[in-house]
Amino acid sequence: MKISEMKKLLKKHGCYFVKELNGHEDWYSPITNRHFPIPRHNSQELGTGIEKAIRKQAGI
């Protein structure tokens, strides 16, 4: 899954962008009430471990 596709999925579930960090973006999930980092390079593929971690932190 590309990073841009993950961001669309996160938005669909109510997550939103908060601020820019060094090489990452800080996102917030109202489902888990947590902040989590997402890589900034939209055209790159996410590794399976990173994808799984993001989904867990976002609660999806």
Q: What three-state secondary structure class fits 4?
A: helix
| Number of compact structural domains in the chain | 1
pLDDT digits (tens, 9 = 90+) for 12-53: 999 999 999 888 999 999 999 999 999 988 889 999 999 999
Contacts of 46 (CB under 8 A, 6+ apart): 1, 2, 3, 6, 39, 54
Rounded to a whole number of angstroms, the distance between the first and last alpha carbons of the chain is: 15
Range of the structural domain that residue 53 is part of: 3-58
pLDDT digits (tens, 9 = 90+) for 3-22: 999 999 999 999 999 999 88
- The domain that holds 24 is classified in CATH as 3.30.920.30
Q: What three-state secondary structure class fits 58?
A: helix
Give the pTM. 0.86
Residue with tokens 């055209």: 43
